[in-house]
């Protein structure tokens, strides 16, 4: 009886490693999204917590308040951009994982079909062997009767 051996087992193993790597990259990207989102929310809260501008102040105080608000607003804008970049990267990593999973699934389907074909071939061989045994016994019994 022949043992089954998938001829693309090495390729399947590499594809599974690639899929595992893609899973890790996606997890890392999702952590980056969470971190960027937390940073964005913290900066928004800081911006929203700024006290209203005072009415009576010197020109210097006015410019300081404007600069502070500008800096905090810029930090919100920067954090928003980092968050969007992290989300875009995570989406790319998700697509990479989907493609890697499809590659693995294709090879697994191929292996399953080959395994089924191998099992069918083994059954045919066993049937042929059984037929040969039966036919040889029948011939021997038939020769003994004459």
For residue range 60-112, list pLDDT tens digits in order.
989 999 999 999 999 999 999 999 999 999 999 999 999 999 999 999 999 99
Q: pTM score, two decimals?
A: 0.74
DSSP letters spanning 21-72: HHHHHHHHHHHHHHHHHHHHHHHHHHHHTSPPPPSS--HHHHHHHHHHHHHH
Mean pLDDT of the 9-23 span: 97
């Amino acid at each position: 009886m022949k043992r089954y051996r998938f001829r693309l087992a090495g390729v399947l193993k590499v594809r599974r490693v690639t899929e595992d790597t893609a899973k890790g990259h996606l997890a890392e990207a999702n952590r980056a999204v969470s971190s960027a989102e937390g940073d964005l929310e913290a900066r928004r809260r800081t911006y929203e917590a700024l006290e209203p501008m005072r009415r009576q102040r010197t020109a210097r105080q006015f410019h300081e308040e404007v600069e502070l608000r500008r800096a905090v607003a810029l930090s919100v804008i920067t954090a928003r951009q980092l968050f969007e970049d992290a989300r875009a990267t995570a989406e790319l990593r998700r697509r990479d994982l989907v493609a890697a999973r499809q590659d693995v699934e294709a090879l697994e389907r191929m292996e399953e079909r080959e395994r089924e074909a191998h099992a069918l071939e083994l059954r045919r061989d066993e049937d042929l062997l059984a037929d040969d045994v039966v036919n040889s016994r029948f011939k021997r019994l038939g020769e003994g009767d004459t």
